[in-house]
Each structure stands twice: as structure tokens, then as C-alpha cells.
């Protein structure tokens, strides 16, 4: 249990690094003209955000990697599984962002290109996890509270989970500070559980992600001076599902990360209903945070309410454990 201190150190290192470095890269991003293109079909209030520097997720990734590696020197425990997922999905996001900023439009990679890349990485990590003696094919199941071996179903389940979570976190990144704050809160669940399970590597990783997210909020909260971009949101999605895999708590992510599930589900419901009814909608706009914007809620109010929901979901997950 005393290993919690490594997580706190990683948290502080990542937070201070991101806090200090983010304002330094702002003029560089502006000089490179890496400004966010706002989609015209989105909320009209977002048009004023056009040109805000994006791809700040590079700093988040750097903070996570540096904090994790520095603290791991002292723990002498090494497992790069989670970092690998962060970098892999961050790379997909980087390519997507770079196409957007270089061509000055809001369309990056084509849908099929994203799916191919996401599926390829997901299959690779699922196979690695299944064959890693430290992870394996057993998952801890809520309510019945013991490990169940998924056997041959583990790989397809994990592939679906990786793709689903990375895209869900990506969809959540639509309001200033929403994705960074929500991810930081969800990672608190995994840090607590890593301490309980005495998984030092996971403790350090969770601490690094929490610190990077909270450090980024200094410049990303409303009104945001910088956006994380897909390079950040995809990487954070990778971080969330990565630590869920190594702790074998993927099913608890449905509870602790229920906000991400709701965001993604709102899109699925909207698209499905739109097609079934030939043009009718359930929500004013999706993901669901935009629905509340169009209902007249201020952006900051939505973010705070969603953060509070995140805290409640994490508390519920901890109680169920």
C-alpha cells in the first residue's frame, strides 16, 4: 500500500511539466498556424474558437511519458503496455490533426482509414494482453466479484473495448476542459484500484495521466487558450483502456467511465434514429454535451455538471468493488 507515494510523485511531475511547458508551445503553434478549424454544422457559439491553437495533446503525451519513465527509475518496475497504447492512438490522432491544420479544414483522416488503423492497433494490443502472463484473459466481474476467464472471447472483446473507449473519449472532447477533466477523474478510480491491487506500474501510470490532465486544464479550461486535438483525446482514450486492461478491470470502466459511454451512446442513438425515421432526431445535436448547449446551458455549466457526474460514477464503481 505504501507504493501510493510513487503515484503522487508521478502526478506532480506530469502536472508541473504540462503546466510549465504548455504556455511555451503556444507561440510555436501559433507561428506554425496550427489553429483549430470549427465545423460549420456545430454550435454557432463555437465559431469564435476558430483559430485557437490545437494539438496540445502532444504536451499531455510528453508529460505522461516523462513522468512515468522518471518515477519508474526509482520503482525499477517496467511495463510499457499502457504507454504503447497511448503513443499508438496518439499517433492516429496526430495524423488526423495534421491533415486538418495543414489543409485548414475540419476533415482529417477518412472514416475507413481511422477504422483500419484503430482496428489494427486494437488487435495487436489484444493479442499482446492475452499472451502476457501479467494480464491474461481473466477479467474481474462486477456484482459477482470474482475473476472470469473470457478464453477465446477475450481478444474480440478487448478489440471492441479499445476501439470503443478511444472513440468515446475522443467524442467527449467537445467543450473546453471536458475531456481532460473527465479523464483525470476516471483515472483516479484506476489509481485507487492499482494501490489496492499493489500494481506499482499502474499506480505510476495512473498518477502520470491524472497529473498531465489536470496540468493541461490550466490553459484548456473555458475560455481555452489551447485545444488538445485528436492527438490528445485519442491518446487519453488509449490511457484509459490501457490501464483497464492491465488491471483487468475493463468491465468496471462501464461504470467509472459511464460518462464516456453516454457520450458515445448519444451519437449511436441519434444516427440510428435519424436513419430509421428518415430525418427525425432524438437530441438537438450530438454528442450529448452539444444538446445541452443548444438548450441554453452555458459551456462552463455543462462541463462542471459532467465532471460531477464523473465523480459520482467513479464513487459508484469504488463502492461496487
pTM of the model: 0.94
As a whole number of angstroms, the distance between CA 122 and CA 158 comes to 8
pLDDT at 221 over 80: yes
Beta bridge partners of 140: 147
Query: Is 216:21 a contact under the CB 8 Å cutoff?
Result: no
Residue with cell 495533446: 57
**Helix, strand or coil, per DSSP, at residue 255:** helix
Please write the tens of the pLDDT for every residue from 33-82: 887 766 656 666 676 777 789 999 999 999 999 999 999 999 888 889 99
- The whole-number pLDDT of residue 280 equals 92
- The whole-number pLDDT of residue 218 equals 93
Please write the tens of the pLDDT for every residue from 171-217: 999 899 999 999 999 999 999 999 999 999 999 999 999 999 999 99
Please write the tens of the pLDDT for every residue from 96-108: 999 988 877 677 8
**Helix, strand or coil, per DSSP, at residue 311:** helix
Set of cell numbers at residue 229: 486535438
Provide Rg for the chain, Cα atoms. Answer: 19
Work out whether the CA dihedral 206, 234, 31, 66 comes out positive or negative.
Answer: positive
Closest Cα partner for 266 from 235, 287, 241, 289?
A: 287
pLDDT at 1 over 80: no
Please write the tens of the pLDDT for every residue from 257-314: 999 999 999 999 999 999 999 889 999 999 999 999 999 999 999 999 999 999 999 9
The highest-confidence range among 103-117, 231-245, 272-286, by mean pLDDT, is 231-245
Place 18 in a pLDDT band, splitting at 50, 70 and 90: very high
pLDDT at 8 over 90: yes
Q: How far from 229 is each of 124, 179, 244, CA to CA, in Å?
A: 25, 10, 23
Please write the tens of the pLDDT for every residue from 128-181: 999 999 999 999 998 887 899 999 999 999 999 999 999 999 999 989 999 999
Beta bridge partners of 35: 53
- The whole-number pLDDT of residue 41 equals 60
- The whole-number pLDDT of residue 298 equals 93
- The whole-number pLDDT of residue 150 equals 96
Amino acid at each position: 500500500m505504501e507504493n501510493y507515494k510513487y503515484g503522487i510523485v508521478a502526478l506532480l511531475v506530469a502536472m508541473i511539466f504540462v503546466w510549465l511547458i504548455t504556455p511555451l508551445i503556444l507561440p510555436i503553434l501559433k507561428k506554425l498556424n496550427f489553429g483549430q478549424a470549427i465545423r460549420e454544422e456545430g454550435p454557432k457559439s463555437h465559431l469564435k474558437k476558430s483559430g485557437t491553437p490545437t494539438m496540445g495533446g502532444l504536451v499531455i503525451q510528453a508529460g505522461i511519458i516523462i513522468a512515468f519513465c522518471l518515477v519508474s527509475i526509482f520503482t525499477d518496475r517496467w511495463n510499457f503496455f499502457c504507454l504503447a497504447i497511448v503513443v499508438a492512438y496518439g499517433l492516429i490522432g496526430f495524423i488526423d490533426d495534421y491533415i486538418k491544420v495543414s489543409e485548414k479544414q475540419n476533415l482529417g483522416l477518412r472514416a475507413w482509414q481511422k477504422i483500419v488503423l484503430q482496428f489494427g492497433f486494437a488487435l495487436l494490443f489484444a493479442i499482446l494482453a492475452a499472451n502476457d502472463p501479467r494480464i491474461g484473459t481473466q477479467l474481474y466481474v462486477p456484482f459477482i466479484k470474482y475473476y472470469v476467464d473470457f478464453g477465446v472471447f477475450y481478444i474480440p472483446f478487448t478489440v471492441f473495448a479499445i476501439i470503443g473507449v478511444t472513440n468515446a473519449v475522443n467524442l467527449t472532447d467537445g467543450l473546453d476542459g471536458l475531456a481532460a477533466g473527465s479523464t483525470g477523474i476516471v483515472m483516479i478510480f484506476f489509481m485507487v484500484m492499482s494501490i489496492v491491487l499493489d500494481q506499482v506500474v499502474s499506480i505510476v501510470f495512473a498518477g502520470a495521466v491524472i497529473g498531465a490532465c489536470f496540468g493541461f486544464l490550466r490553459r484548456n479550461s473555458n475560455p481555452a487558450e489551447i485545444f488538445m486535438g485528436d492527438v490528445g483525446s485519442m491518446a487519453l482514450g488509449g490511457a484509459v483502456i490501457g490501464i483497464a486492461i492491465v488491471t483487468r478491470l475493463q468491465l468496471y470502466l462501464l461504470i467509472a467511465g459511464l460518462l464516456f459511454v453516454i457520450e458515445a451512446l448519444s451519437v449511436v442513438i441519434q444516427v440510428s434514429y435519424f436513419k430509421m425515421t428518415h430525418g427525425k432526431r432524438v437530441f438537438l445535436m450530438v454528442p450529448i454535451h452539444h444538446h445541452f448547449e443548444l438548450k441554453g446551458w452555458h459551456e462552463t455549466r455543462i462541463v462542471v455538471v459532467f465532471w460531477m457526474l464523473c465523480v459520482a460514477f467513479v464513487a459508484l464503481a469504488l463502492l461496487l468493488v
